Structure 1
Amino acid sequence: MRKTWIYPPQSGADIGGLADGLGISPAVAGLLYRRGLTTAEAMDAYLSPGLRRLMPPAAIAGLTEAAGLLARALDARKTVAVWGDYDVDGVTGTAVLLDFLRARGHAPLWRLPVRADEGYGLNVAGIEELAAAGAEVLVTVDCGIGGLAEVARARELGLAVIVTDHHLPGPELPPADVVVDPKLADGPGFDLAGVGVAFFLAAAVNRLLPGEAYDVRRLLDLVALGTLADVVPLGGQNRILAKNGMLLLAEAARPGIHALKEVCGHNPKAALSASQITFGLAPRINAAGRMGRPDDALALLLAPDLDTARPLAAALDAENARRRAEEDAILAEALAQAEACPGRFGLTLFAPHWHQGVIGIVASRVAERRNRPTLILTEDAAKGRLKGSGRSIAGCDLHGLLTEIADVLASFGGHAQAAGLSIAPGDLSRLTEAFDAAAARAIGPQVAPPSLSLDGELSFGEVTATLVREIGLLEPFGCGNPEPLFASPPVSVVSQRFFGENHVAVSLRDATAGVTFRGKAWRMADVIGAQPAGRAVRVAYTPKMSYFSGVPEIELRLRDIGEASPQALKKFNV
Structure 2
Amino acid sequence: MSRSVEKRWIIRHPDYASRDAIVRELGISPFVAAILVNRGIKDPDEVSRFLSPRLAHLHEPFLMKDMEKAVDRLQKAVLNRERTVIYGDYDVDGIVSSLVVRDFLRLAGLECDIYIPDRLTEGYDLSPAAVERLAEEGYSLLVTVDCGVRASEAAERAARLGMTMIVTDHHEVGDELPPAAAVVDPMRPDCGYPFKRLAGVGVAYKLVWALARRLAGGERLPDLFRDFLLDYLSVVALGTVCDVVPLLGENRVFVHYGLRRLASFRNVGMRSLLEESGVLRRLMQGQQGITARDLAFLVGPRINAAGRLGEAETGLELFSTTDASAARRIAARLGELNTRRQKLESEILQQARDLVAAGGEPPPAIVLASPDWHQGVLGIVASRLVNEFYRPTFLGCVEGDTVRGSARSIEGFDIVASLTRCSDLLERYGGHAGAAGFSLKADRLEEFAERLREDAAASFSRNPKLLEPAVFVESELPFDAIDDGLLAEMDKLAPFGHEHPKPLFFAGNVEVVGEPRLVGAGNRHLVMHLKRDGRTFRAIAFNQGEKVRELRRFMNVLFTPRLESYNGMTGIQLEIHGLRAGG
The two structures have a TM-score, normalised by structure 1, of 0.91
Q: Name which of 256, 268, 271 aligns with 1:243.
A: 256
**Following the alignment from structure 1 to structure 2, what is the Cα–Cα distance between the partners of residues 350 and 448?**
23
Tell me the equivalent position of 2:309. 291
Offset of residue 31 of structure 1: 1.0
Offset of residue 289 of structure 1: 0.4
**Following the alignment from structure 2 to structure 1, what is the Cα–Cα distance between the partners of residues 150 and 496?**
31
Contact 1:22-1:40 at 8 Å conserved across structures: yes
- Superposed CA deviations along residues 310-346 of structure 1, whole A, max 9, x for unmatched, are 1111111111111111111111111121222233222
Mapping 1:42-53, distance limit 5 Å: 42-53=46-57
Tell me the equivalent position of 1:422. 439
Q: Name which of 193, 215, 240 aligns with 1:187.
A: 193
SS in 2 for 1:214: helix
Tell me the equivalent position of 1:570. none
SS in 1 for 2:232: helix
- Superposed CA deviations along residues 87-142 of structure 1, whole A, max 9, x for unmatched, are 11100100111221222333211100110011111123333333343423211101
Tell me the equivalent position of 2:528. 507
Tell me the equivalent position of 2:219. none
SS in 2 for 1:118: coil
Contact 2:18-2:37 at 8 Å conserved across structures: no
Report the residue type matching 2:536 in the other structure: V
- Superposed CA deviations along residues 211-234 of structure 1, whole A, max 9, x for unmatched, are 864121111001011011111122
Contact 1:228-1:242 at 8 Å conserved across structures: yes
**Following the alignment from structure 1 to structure 2, what is the Cα–Cα distance between the partners of residues 155 and 425?**
31
SS in 1 for 2:17: coil
Q: Name which of 130, 135, 151 aligns with 1:131.
A: 135
Q: Name which of 404, 413, 431 aligns with 2:430.
A: 413
Q: Name which of 193, 202, 207 aligns with 1:196.
A: 202
> Percent identity between the aligned chains?
36
Check if 1:325 corresponds to 2:343: yes
SS in 2 for 1:37: coil
| Cα distance change, pair 446–212 in 1 and its aligned pair in 2 (3 A) | closer
| Cα distance change, pair 411–64 in 1 and its aligned pair in 2 (3 A) | closer
Q: Name which of 299, 316, 321 aligns with 1:303.
A: 321
Q: Which moved more, 1:322-331 or 1:529-538?
A: 529-538
Q: Name which of 469, 484, 509 aligns with 2:488.
A: 469
Tell me the equivalent position of 2:87. 83
Contact 1:57-1:64 at 8 Å conserved across structures: no
Gaps of 5+ in 1: 566-574
**Following the alignment from structure 1 to structure 2, what is the Cα–Cα distance between the partners of residues 351 and 535?**
48
Mapping 1:17-416, distance limit 5 Å: 17-184=21-188, 185-209=191-215, 213-215=224-226, 216-267=229-280, 269=283, 271-343=289-361, 344-381=363-400, 384-416=401-433
Contact 2:413-2:466 at 8 Å conserved across structures: no
SS in 1 for 2:359: coil
**Following the alignment from structure 2 to structure 1, what is the Cα–Cα distance between the partners of residues 523 and 442?**
35
SS in 1 for 2:16: coil
Report the residue type matching 1:514 in the other structure: R
**Following the alignment from structure 1 to structure 2, what is the Cα–Cα distance between the partners of residues 117 and 76?**
34
| Cα distance change, pair 427–492 in 1 and its aligned pair in 2 (3 A) | farther
Contact 1:491-1:508 at 8 Å conserved across structures: no
Tell me the equivalent position of 2:558. 540
Offset of residue 57 of structure 1: 0.9
- Superposed CA deviations along residues 51-84 of structure 1, whole A, max 9, x for unmatched, are 0111111011111221121012102222221111
SS in 2 for 1:116: coil
**Following the alignment from structure 1 to structure 2, what is the Cα–Cα distance between the partners of residues 425 and 128?**
26
Contact 1:223-1:241 at 8 Å conserved across structures: yes
**Following the alignment from structure 2 to structure 1, what is the Cα–Cα distance between the partners of residues 132 and 445?**
35
- Superposed CA deviations along residues 476-510 of structure 1, whole A, max 9, x for unmatched, are 22222222111123234441325348942322312
**Following the alignment from structure 2 to structure 1, what is the Cα–Cα distance between the partners of residues 51 and 274?**
27
Contact 2:170-2:198 at 8 Å conserved across structures: yes
**Following the alignment from structure 1 to structure 2, what is the Cα–Cα distance between the partners of residues 488 and 242?**
32
Report the residue type matching 1:194 in the other structure: G
Offset of residue 48 of structure 1: 1.6
**Following the alignment from structure 1 to structure 2, what is the Cα–Cα distance between the partners of residues 235 and 454?**
19
Offset of residue 45 of structure 1: 1.1
**Following the alignment from structure 1 to structure 2, what is the Cα–Cα distance between the partners of residues 246 and 71?**
31
Report the residue type matching 1:530 in the other structure: V
Check if 1:2 corresponds to 2:6: yes
Contact 1:345-1:447 at 8 Å conserved across structures: no
| Cα distance change, pair 136–455 in 1 and its aligned pair in 2 (3 A) | same
Q: Which moved more, 1:475-484 or 1:419-428?
A: 419-428
Tell me the equivalent position of 1:481. 500
- Superposed CA deviations along residues 349-370 of structure 1, whole A, max 9, x for unmatched, are 2322111011111111101111
**Following the alignment from structure 1 to structure 2, what is the Cα–Cα distance between the partners of residues 180 and 336?**
44
The two structures have a TM-score, normalised by structure 2, of 0.90
| Cα distance change, pair 410–457 in 1 and its aligned pair in 2 (3 A) | same
**Following the alignment from structure 1 to structure 2, what is the Cα–Cα distance between the partners of residues 452 and 549?**
33
Contact 1:409-1:421 at 8 Å conserved across structures: yes
